Every structure is written in structure tokens, then in C-alpha cells.
Structure 1
Amino acid sequence: MKMHPRLAIAALALAAALTHAALAADALPSYHGDPSQTSVSGLSSGAFMAVQYQVAYSGSVVGAGVVAGGPYYCAAGNLFNASICMGQVPFVPPNSTLMVTAAAGFASLNQIDPLSNLQKARIYVFSGTKDTVVYQQAVDSTVSFFKEAGVPASNLKYVNNVPAGHAFITPSFGNVCADNAPPYISHCEVGKQRYDQAGALLQYIYGPLKPPAKSLTGRIVPFSQREFAASATGMADTGFVYVPKSCDQGVACKVHVAFHGCKQSAAVVGDDFYEKTNYNYWADTNNILVLYPQVNASTIPFNPQGCWDWFGYTGPDYAVKSGSQLTAVNAMVGRLLSKP
């Protein structure tokens, strides 16, 4: 039996409305988190972003996990510097001393927090020996940057001997260890044990933690990012936060921001990054809210790979606190820390 054309149109409109309602995200809730325990981490462009966030907001960020990322302000706002910053030019590593000088200049203008705060930060850095996207000479410069910026050697861990490709490492999900391929999540063994990168970096930042949950008691909460960032920033409509049951029940939880890499937003890899990287299992038993902000590929601004801005596509202030993406994520963190 054929449906009347008007009924068919009405049915399609209703279906579209229901789909939009199902996908629409609410405002990011408040959870009254612990303002003294915020940290960040990321892979690739997300690692560059984690470095930027740690340096810009060093007064309120206790540590960072940097997986295959270069030093702060490496590209100096110029995409043509990206190949050097990714270690792709043989024998020409990023100049960490210049980056520290730039950061000190921003700090002197109060555009970022004082570099002296980094003396108490705890920094985990990882570079796989098989990474052919961001080579080790670039990540070596990240380590040098943090040392020159004042992070004590006792607060800096550099893992650079795992035969991993360009990926975030999980105990069991994703590609084989040496792959440099989507979804840029791989599984590796270190010392005959499955390597759990989320646990490694969270425990380095926070110290000993309870073992990860075997099954999750919390929930993924999608939220609208438009309250914090216009589409002109390149940020997606929707972000995600993992909320352990304890945080839902009023415990003052830590906040950890996990920045995905290029081609790794939910629009490309679904829930792979925000559900399968093992952050949530550690968060569940250790009272940690995990924020997963999202950036999508776009033409305006020109960001075809869906990367976080570490080279200036959102404007020249991308690496300081007035930068649109840094401002947006910091406001999201502020919301999580505020009273409901």
C-alpha cells in the first residue's frame, strides 16, 4: 500500500526530528570536582594540545601525558614548520630552547601562567620506536623543553623503547603494536605484560591508584560544546565526559582531559577513543571525571584532518590562554569543577 505523499513527507520530517532529538546533547553538567587535581593527556595533535594546555594553565594543572607530541609552540603559528615539529626532517629536530624562550615571553605578558609552576608538574612522555608520523627526535625535544622550562628530572618520565607505531596503547584493543594506521589505537606488550597507557600516565601524574574496574559503573555523558566554542573554532557540536558513579553521587572528583588525535574524533572512529582507550576503567575506581573534547575536520577553519590546533588555524593566539580552543576546554573544566 502506497503512503500519501503528504503523509510520507510528514513521516520523514518526524523521523528527522526524532533523530535530531536523539543526537542532541544537553549542557555539560556541574560535578563540584577537586580543583587541585586537574590533568591532561593526548595523542599526536592531542599531545601537542595537552602540552599547550599544561603550559598555558600550569597554575591549575598538576600534570600531563604526552603521547607522540612535540614541544610547546613548536610551529610558531606556521603550518610550514609542522614537518620539523613532527620530526620528519632528518637531523633537524625542533629547537626546544627557542620554544622555552617563546613561552617565557608569553608568561611575561601574562598570556600564560608563570613557567615556575612547571616545577611541580608531573610529565609522562611516550614515543614508540616504530612511529613514522611523529618521529622520536621531535618527542625528544618535548622532553628537553620541559626540562629547560623547569620540570625536575624526578617529575619527568620518558618511555621511548616500546616498538609501537603512532597510536595510543591499550591492553587489548586496536591494531598490532607497530601499526601506524587508523584508529591510531594499538595493543602492545612490555616485559611480557600488556601495556596500559592510560593507567601508566594517570599513575605517573597522580601517584599509586586503585586497580582499574573490571566492569564500569559510571556513564558516558554527551554534551553540547557550542556553549563553549563556536563552529568557527573547528570544535564539534558534541563532546563527551565519563562520569564515575561516585562523581554522580557527590564525591569531589579529579578532572582529566583526554585529547584525541587527528582523524580520531567520534565523527571518524565512533566511541573508540572515549570508550576503548581504558581511561574510564581507571577513572571508575579512582574518582576521576574524564573529559573528551572533540574537534572535527572542517574547511572553515581549514582543518581537513580533524586535528587540534597546534599550528595556528584558529588564529595567532592558539597557544595562549586567549586561544579559542584552549579557552573552550578550560571553560569545560571549570564547569566540571563548579557546584551543581
Structure 2
Amino acid sequence: MRIRRIIESLLAIALSFPLVAASAAGEDLPKLGADAKRVSISGLSSGAFMAVQYDVAFSASTIGVGVVAGGPYNCSYVNMGGITTCMQGSPLGAASYNAAIGFQTLGKIDPIAHVAKQKVYLFSGTSDSVVKQSVMDAVRDFYQMLKVPAASLIYVNTTDAGHAFISQDFGNGCNTNQAPYVNECSVGGALYDQPAAILGHIYGTLKPKANALSAQPIAFDQTPYAGPTSSMASTGYLYVPAACRGAGAKCAVHVVFHGCLQSAESVGDAVYAKLGYNEWADTNGIIVLYPQVNKNVVPVNPNGCWDWWGYSGLDFQTRSGTQIAAIHAMVKTLTSQ
């Protein structure tokens, strides 16, 4: 009887582990009935590469993108020198354009004609030592080849910024290239507000940002969306303005992709709570999704980067890529009733 009681106790403990893990990861991602016709994305560094990939793969359901210190589509596979060229060299926007045509022909991405209807914001700091401005020039060339009109494409490339998101609210000195990869930069005598610039370009004139938030970021469970080779964390973060919780609110959705060494595991709430997106989202009816990728040994991802070179599988840059598909499934959840 004593052995039986021990076995039953051990079984009870074992069965409790999944429940503990789910609780630690956060609540389920809510179905908010958000507006599926107003989905946009932005990102820094590997997150900027990821934003371009998602934008191209799901261009039919994406209205705009912000690319901060990233690179062009499928860059490492179509440029000699691979990753090095796509960070420190001069990749070709034309090579990425041809890659997109090829994947379109195979039916692995949405028709690229949709991209021409989008609003595109690009940013490259002159003191960025991680991703050279020549790489972002290729991103500009890529979107121009996709026929994005000049009025819809903004390229900010004269600010003495390092490798970072630019925040009006907190951060390192402007030309810094170190954690948390959020900097403050003065432009025209005032601190530059990059979240406002990105959201304003995509969604149009914004209402003034909130002085006090109507809600707080919440942790949610990413495990239903993330496959075993995705390198994605168990927990993601979400900001939902109070006004977006009501029935029929039909708020927009903006996805923010952090950079390498910039997930919550590495920099805490620097991106999902302090960067500045939430204050603008609060007064403008925008739900902000902050998916997370952590450092991993298997697959090999020691810096917690989004996949733009293929560590998660060969189709990483298409609709079936494990990370891209996971984010799209999250967006579909938010836009579901």
C-alpha cells in the first residue's frame, strides 16, 4: 500500500507539470474581433528581416511595414557571402525581388502585387555598426521594384543612430550599439518618436498619445502556436487598449518583432512596455502583439534571433515557415470573434 501511495503521489506531481508550465507562460491569446483589414508589422534587426519576410509572405493581409536596421527578402540565400553580406556588405535588392517572384510562382507566398498597396517605413542610423546602411539601401531598392509609390515609402537614413529602435521615452545615447537596443535621438531639436513615425505612416494622422495607459501589457501562452523547431519562447506579450476589449471595437493589429538579444528574456520589458508603441496604440485603437524568440541550443540560435537564414527550416521565408505561420495564426486569433 505504501508503494502504491508513493506511485500515486509521483503520478500526481508529474501530471501537474503541464498545468504549471501553461500558467507560467501566461493566459490564452484572446479572440478580440480585431480588424483583419488593418494588420501591420515592424521590427528591428533580425525582427526587421522577419517583418520583411512576413510582409512578403502575407502581403494580401498586411497594409504596412516598418523596417529598422534589417535586410531585404531572402537575403542570405541570394547573395554571395550570405549572412555577412546581408549585415555588413552590399546585397542586391534585385536578387530579393527575383526570389519573391520565384516563391510566388511556386505558390508559397501571396501575389507580390499586393505589396504596392502598402505603406513602407525604413530606418537606418548612420552609426549602426551591426547592419550597414548599404543593406537597408537594398531594402529600399527591393520595395521600389515591388512598385511601392514614392509617397508610400519613407526612408529615414540621416540620423546619427546606432543599432536600435528609437524611443522618445527612454534608452541609450543615440549612437549606441548595445542592449537594450533602444536609443534616444534628437532630430530637429526634439526627441524622435519612431513608434509614432511608423504607426502614423501606416495608419494616417494619429490622435495624441496617452499620458496614462488604459491597460497594461499581458503575458500570453505562445506554445499552441510555436513548433518544436521554431525557437520561440513559451511566453509572448500583448497590449490591448481598454477600448479594444468591447464587442464590435474592430481595432487594428500591429506586430512588433524584437531584435537579436532583445527578447524579454534578455532585456525585460524594454520593448513590450517601454518603447512607446503602447501609448500611441492606446488612443488610436491599435492592439500591439509582441511575439518572442529566446536563445536556444536546438535549433542553434544563441542570440535569440528571428530566423532569416534558415535555422528553423528551408521554408522559413514563406507562408509555411514555422515562425511566420505561428505569427499569422496569432493574428488570426486576435481577429477572430
Q: TM-score band, normalised by the shorter chain?
A: over 0.9
Q: How many residues align?
A: 322
- Are 1:173 and 1:187, in contact at CA under 8 Å, matched by a contact in 2? yes
Q: Residues 124-203 of structure 1 correspond to what in structure 2 (within 5 A)?
A: 124-203=121-200
- Are 1:213 and 1:284, in contact at CA under 8 Å, matched by a contact in 2? yes
Is 1:206 the equivalent of 2:207?
no
Partner SS state of residue 51, structure 2: helix
- Are 1:78 and 1:312, in contact at CA under 8 Å, matched by a contact in 2? no
Match of 2:66 in 1: 65
Is 1:115 the equivalent of 2:116?
no
- Are 1:79 and 1:312, in contact at CA under 8 Å, matched by a contact in 2? no
Structure 1 residue 27: Cα displacement: 1.3
Match of 2:10 in 1: none
Structure 1 residue 106: Cα displacement: 0.5
Structure 1 stretches of 5 or more lacking a match? 1-12
Match of 2:271 in 1: 273
**Gap change, CA 1:294 and 1:49, over 3 Å in 2:** same
Structure 1 residue 24: Cα displacement: 3.6
Structure 1 residue 123: Cα displacement: 0.2
Amino acid of the residue matched to residue 248 of structure 1? R
Partner SS state of residue 255, structure 1: strand
**Gap change, CA 1:192 and 1:335, over 3 Å in 2:** same
Structure 1 residue 153: Cα displacement: 1.4
- Are 1:240 and 1:292, in contact at CA under 8 Å, matched by a contact in 2? yes
Match of 1:313 in 2: 311
Structure 1 residue 22: Cα displacement: 6.2
- Are 1:309 and 1:318, in contact at CA under 8 Å, matched by a contact in 2? yes
Partner SS state of residue 85, structure 1: helix
TM-score (norm 1): 0.91
Aligned with residue 253 of structure 2, among 237, 243, 255: 255
Inter-partner Cα distance in structure 1 for 2:312 and 2:242? 36
Inter-partner Cα distance in structure 2 for 1:312 and 1:77? 13
- Are 1:219 and 1:245, in contact at CA under 8 Å, matched by a contact in 2? no
Amino acid of the residue matched to residue 265 of structure 1? S
Inter-partner Cα distance in structure 1 for 2:164 and 2:295? 19
Partner SS state of residue 273, structure 1: coil
**Gap change, CA 1:190 and 1:312, over 3 Å in 2:** same
Structure 1 residue 109: Cα displacement: 1.4
**Gap change, CA 1:172 and 1:104, over 3 Å in 2:** same
Partner SS state of residue 42, structure 1: strand
Inter-partner Cα distance in structure 2 for 1:200 and 1:227? 33
Match of 1:9 in 2: none
| 1:73-96 residue CA offsets vs partner (Å, 9 max, x unmatched) | 10128995111111x13xxx1011
Structure 2 stretches of 5 or more lacking a match? 1-12
Inter-partner Cα distance in structure 1 for 2:139 and 2:123? 10
- Are 2:126 and 2:161, in contact at CA under 8 Å, matched by a contact in 1? yes
TM-score (norm 2): 0.92
| 1:53-112 residue CA offsets vs partner (Å, 9 max, x unmatched) | 1111000000000000110110128995111111x13xxx10111110010110111100
Amino acid of the residue matched to residue 30 of structure 2? P
Inter-partner Cα distance in structure 2 for 1:227 and 1:60? 22
Amino acid of the residue matched to residue 213 of structure 1? A
| 1:253-300 residue CA offsets vs partner (Å, 9 max, x unmatched) | 100000000000011111111001100000000010000000001010
Inter-partner Cα distance in structure 2 for 1:238 and 1:315? 22
| 1:240-260 residue CA offsets vs partner (Å, 9 max, x unmatched) | 110000011231110000000
Inter-partner Cα distance in structure 2 for 1:82 and 1:43? 16
Identity %: 49
| 1:168-220 residue CA offsets vs partner (Å, 9 max, x unmatched) | 00013110000001110011110001100000000001110101101100221
Inter-partner Cα distance in structure 2 for 1:191 and 1:32? 40
Inter-partner Cα distance in structure 2 for 1:20 and 1:225? 11
| 1:97-149 residue CA offsets vs partner (Å, 9 max, x unmatched) | 11100101101111001111011110000000000000100000000000012
Amino acid of the residue matched to residue 308 of structure 1? W
